[in-house]
Structure 1
């Protein structure tokens, strides 16, 4: 149902409530601020710009995200979000660090304690709960509608993504298949899969971030799997083959 121009605020509130959305949820999914939604509903601001109105209408109509809205996250190297490069660059450092923390361990719960440890080295300000929530909202707006940053537990988050949306999952899936092929004696297939897994890497994970992220257990574990795959490819015992693909990135020792 189209939003009513004459009574936009009332129409917006009614349709939002019918859709079962809070003001915050609507704002995050539409990529607008919570304050804007609140002001529109209260009549403090007139009808929004057409672009914002269309985004809101799509959310209220339950339309699936467009293919062009899908993003791909790169963690295995400098942090990138293809399709959201400008938005990523606008994130404040703490929000970017929160995003990096959940992205290095996709689909896993990241507790508030872990967030506090990474963002403030275990010494958070008294307002840290509110700040974390604000950083989470900023990350959601940056990612858009095709990737979910889900609130879990008491102040924690989980980045819910598909394999084709983030290089970490692509790498681990390929490396796992390679190890399985190798254990079954199919060394040729293992060689191909290990080579494909290394192609997911662009350099050391999360370059430019604080050591608490670069030395995070998830980062260390991924680097160890990279070196294991690299070791197999460099071994002359793999059916006498030599790796002939693109040279994999050299990671710092």
Structure 2
């Protein structure tokens, strides 16, 4: 079976339209259509990776939940959970797998500070219906709240934490790539702000930045191309993060894109001034000066360019 046949068959068996798969994976509908029709003989590896990250292996019946991007829940295929409140509850529980999430936090996420008078009955109904999708034992009810029972290696945030720790400990470029490759977009990108701004979601995004920065610090000299796509994507999501943008400026210069590097500095300098009323900090200034002097960081520049000094 060819790659385009496998993609089409697996998408259909999961019950997803091309538009739904596009939303969940971050790959355009046009690209999906061209891959499935065979019009693209050699599709981009990153596009294929993102698509099958959503579709997953068709044979497994174990519950898996991905939150590093739009919410994806699978059990032998993507589960079509259409109810916004059921999706919100699944996302909240998946942010804290195998931990009890209190009734108070659940109510706050689903209804905010003004829950309806019948919120207890409504919550009971939402949990019951979500169990029908996930399986009877997936959501455990306790005296203080609810717990999602799922194997850690079936939750992408757990795999990311493990891969990130291994990458930063050993400095293996492949481990960095695998850790960052688990991300399809912001945490729970298709769910309400209460979940996107949840402390756990913000903590995961910070870990993503730290992983990308650590990868960048190990990319000097001459290996910037491997990390540059991750930094560029994150820089769009984090427009004021100075340490992140400082690495982007240096890596652009290291790949010979001097003009793009200078433009990247000017963009964040102007953005800091316009949006926050701030001047560039030490990290951005050092990066800009290094580019102007055409200095390329060396392996023994760890103290200067490492995370502890930026």
What is the TM-score of this pair, normalised by structure 1?
Answer: 0.62
Q: Deviations over 1:74-120 (max 9, x none)?
A: 1100111234534323xx21111111111112122110110111111
1:56-71 superposed matches below 5 A: 68-71=60-63
Please give the secondary structure, in 1, of the residue aligned with 2:186: coil
1:79 aligns with 2:71: yes
Deviation at 1:175, TM superposition (A): 1.5
Q: Which runs of 5+ in 2 are unaligned?
A: 1-58, 239-310
Q: Which runs of 5+ in 1 are unaligned?
A: 1-66
Deviation at 1:140, TM superposition (A): 1.4
Partner Cα distance (1:227, 1:199) in 2: 13
Deviation at 1:232, TM superposition (A): 1.3
Partner Cα distance (1:224, 1:133) in 2: 34
Deviation at 1:250, TM superposition (A): 2.2
Highest RCO, 1 vs 2 (Cα 8 Å, sep ≥ 6): 1
Whether the 8 Å contact between 2:72 and 2:78 is mirrored in structure 1 is yes
Whether the 8 Å contact between 1:75 and 1:167 is mirrored in structure 2 is yes
Higher helix share: 2
Deviation at 1:178, TM superposition (A): 2.7
Partner of 2:273: none
CA 228–121 in structure 1, closer or farther in 2 if over 3 Å, else same: same
Deviation at 1:69, TM superposition (A): 2.0
Partner of 1:153: 143
Partner Cα distance (1:126, 1:94) in 2: 17
Alpha-carbon RMSD across the aligned residues, in angstroms, is: 2.6
Q: Deviations over 1:120-145 (max 9, x none)?
A: 11211121112112111122111136
